Amino acid sequence: MKPKILKIILLMLCFSTLIAHGQKKLFIYEKNGSIQSFALSDIKKLTFTEYDMRVEQKEASAAYIWIENIAFLNFQTSVNILDNQMRDISIFPNPVTNHLTVKNSEIIDELKIFDIQGKQYLHLSPKKKIVDIDMTSFSAGIYFLQIICNNRISTSKIIKNTNN
């Protein structure tokens, strides 16, 4: 299957799953550093082609996002910002060379690491408050760490340095 088609299918599955789980807002992070956000309740229609994603809103014109420009997606799960944040989370060291430690006051349900292109490199279901991640095999660069606890999602940027 072509990589673009696979990415479109994954985006569609992601949207339908997250809408079904009561997500409130969609954030689209593009490779050029720009961020677009949409309230899911305002989205009238999502259309995918081989090259782009079209977001039609109820009270606004449509937005077009080239599929190959999408670096990462994130969803806000709650209208109340304080409820959505994981206040007691620690991620260190960052930048990381070999081992990354993630500590949280709550049990971490899932951890995922994505590169800037959106490719998933790691998926763990630790069910612990402290997780050590071996990153020695990761190439130097920028990654996104997604942490899921009690249906809340937190995303952090991780910088991986070269191994000495």
Q: What is the pLDDT of residues 7-58, one digit of tens each?
A: 666 666 666 555 544 557 777 878 777 778 887 777 788 777 778 888 888 7
Task: Write out the residue range of the structural domain in which residue 69 sits.
Answer: 3-76
Please state the domain count of the chain. 2
Q: What is the CATH number of the domain that holds 58?
A: 2.30.30.100
Boundary (domain end) residue, out of 76, 105, 124? 76
Same domain, yes or no: 31 and 53:
yes
Beta strands in the chain (DSSP E): 25-30, 35-39, 43-48, 52-57, 63-66, 70-76, 90-92, 99-108, 110-115, 120-124, 128-134, 141-149, 152-160
Distance between CA 112 and CA 110 in Å, rounded? Answer: 7
In this prediction the pTM is 0.52
**Shared domain check, 115 and 71:** no
Between CA 107 and CA 19 the distance in angstroms is 24
Whether pLDDT at 83 is above 50: no
In this structure, are 89 and 156 located in the same domain? yes
Kindly state whether residues 11 and 64 are assigned to the same domain: yes
155 and 94, same structural domain?
yes
| Residue ending a domain, choose from 76, 96, 115 | 76
Same domain, 51 and 115: no
Q: Please give the pLDDT value at position 88.
A: 79
**pLDDT value, residue 71:** 77
Q: Pick the last residue of a domain from 22, 50, 76.
A: 76
For residue 78, pLDDT beyond 60 = no
pLDDT confidence bin for 1, thresholds 50/70/90: low
Q: Are residues 48 and 89 in the same domain?
A: no
Q: What percent of the chain has pLDDT over 70?
A: 76
- Residue 18 CA to residue 78 CA, distance in Å, equals 12
Q: Answer yes or no: do 89 and 32 share one domain.
A: no
The identity of residue 158, as a single letter, is I
Asked if residue 121 and residue 54 are part of one domain, the reply reads no
Number of Cβ within 10 Å of residue 55's Cβ equals 20
Give the CATH number of the domain where residue 144 resides: 2.60.40.3080
Q: Do both 94 and 151 map to the same domain? A: yes
